Amino acid sequence: MCAEQFTEVAPWYDDLMAEVPYQNWVRYVEKLAQLHGLSPKSVLDLACGTGRVSRILAQKGYAVVGVDGSPAMIREAQSKTNGEIPFYCQRMQELSLNQRFDLVICLFDSLNYITEPSELQAAFCRVSEHLNPEGLFIFDVNGEAAYTNNLFTQTSLGRWRKVQYVWQADYNPSTRICEVHMRFIVNENGRKREFFEVHRQRCYTVLEIQNYLQQAGLECLECLDAFTTRPATKASDRIYFVARKILAEHNQSHE
Ligand SMILES: C[S@@+](CC[C@H](N)C(=O)[O-])C[C@H]1O[C@@H](n2cnc3c(N)ncnc32)[C@H](O)[C@@H]1O
């Protein structure tokens, strides 16, 4: 039987991502914010998953809120703190917090999981509503190169870990949908158990994203090859965007 995405894997997610250099990712986001003149105090970690990045940000002194659409991932996030970080289960398209932030981040392919363009537009509008004036939205997406180079066909078999996996990706360039059939093998108290999830992502072009940002009142400032300050190219498998909330007066002066 196949579970829904980000359900059965939730308790194993941090083991699975043990080698991801989240500290460096946070430093990179801080650098991008700084380059654009922002010293944020409040941060919304959108699609926060199990809250790894939220916890790093909180340790650095930011006032962090985490939101994710998966109840199982949010339960994991909540179980790893003493309640000092508020975590909410909401879909980005329907984000509704009674609060605005200096910085909203959305990392690690999370936006690619929105497979309907109109819903991505809705998510950007919700982000815009939750940003303080001049606030920044920093996020990454997978570039088309990640899908065409089949980066999601992966296996960890052969290396000892608490969780092992075999992933088979199937990218359709006409629909721009990538389905990744994931088999996980976990070690539960010395016994092996396997489960399956199918993850669905959509590939968006830079131009599409720039348009959706603009429609949501967000000005796209940069599209970067991930973890650099170089512009993204067709070869970029991960692209970072920096967008700024357009001020209302600025909108009016252009009408
Ligand atoms: C690859 S994980 C990344 C998690 C986290 N940002 C990290 O860096 O580890 C993608 C996350 O996006 C969340 N997600 C996918 N679609 C979502 C949506 N429409 N609204 C909110 N969260 C969503 C999933 O539940 C999952 O936790």
CB-CB contact of 233 with 247 (8 Å): no
Domain 17-144+203-253 is found in CATH 3.30.70.2470? no
Q: Is 146 in the pocket of ligand 1 (CB under 6 A)?
A: no
Give the helix, strand, coil percentages of the chain, each rounded to 5. Answer: 30, 35, 35
* Whole-number pLDDT of residue 249: 60
What is the pLDDT at residue 160?
63
DSSP codes of every residue in 90-145: --GGG---S--EEEEEE-TTGGGG---HHHHHHHHHHHHHTEEEEEEEEEEEE-HH
CATH number of 146-202: 2.20.25.110
Query: Ligand 1 pocket, 68 CB below 6 A?
Result: yes
* The two domains 17-144+203-253 and 146-202 share their CATH topology (first three levels equal): no
Q: How far is the CA of 229 from the centre of ligand 1 (A)?
A: 25
Short-list 38, 105, 32, CA closest to 66: 105
Whose Cα sits closest to atom 9 in ligand 1?
49
Give which of 117, 16, 123 is closest to 69, Cα–Cα: 123
Residue 66 is encoded by which pair of tokens? Answer: 């985490």
- Residuewise pLDDT in 10s, the chain (255 residues): 788 999 999 999 999 999 999 999 999 999 999 999 999 999 999 999 999 999 999 999 999 999 999 999 999 999 999 899 999 999 999 999 999 999 999 999 999 999 999 999 999 999 999 999 999 999 999 999 999 999 999 998 766 678 999 999 999 999 999 999 999 999 888 889 999 999 999 999 999 999 999 999 999 999 999 999 999 999 999 999 999 998 876 555 444
Q: Do residues 17 and 6 make contact, with C-beta atoms less than 8 angstroms apart?
A: no
Which of 9, 23, 68, when mutated, tests ligand 1's pocket best, judged by the most ligand atoms within 8 Å of its CB?
68
The H-or-E segment that residue 51 falls in is: none
Q: For residues 73-89, b (16+ Cβ closer than 10 Å) or e, as one string?
A: bbbbbbeebeeebebbb
pLDDT in tens, 203-245: 999 999 999 999 999 999 999 999 999 999 999 999 999 999 9
Ligand 1 pocket test, pick from 113, 116, 126, 199 with the greatest ligand atom count within 8 Å of Cβ, gives 113
Mapped onto helix, strand or coil, the DSSP state of residue 228 is: coil
| Phi (first) and psi of residue 93, to 5 degrees | -65, -20
| CA 47–ligand 1 middle distance (angstroms) | 4
Distance 98 CA to ligand 1 centre (A): 21
For atom 27 of ligand 1, the residue with the nearest CA is: 49
Q: Where are the domains of the chain?
A: 17-144+203-253, 146-202
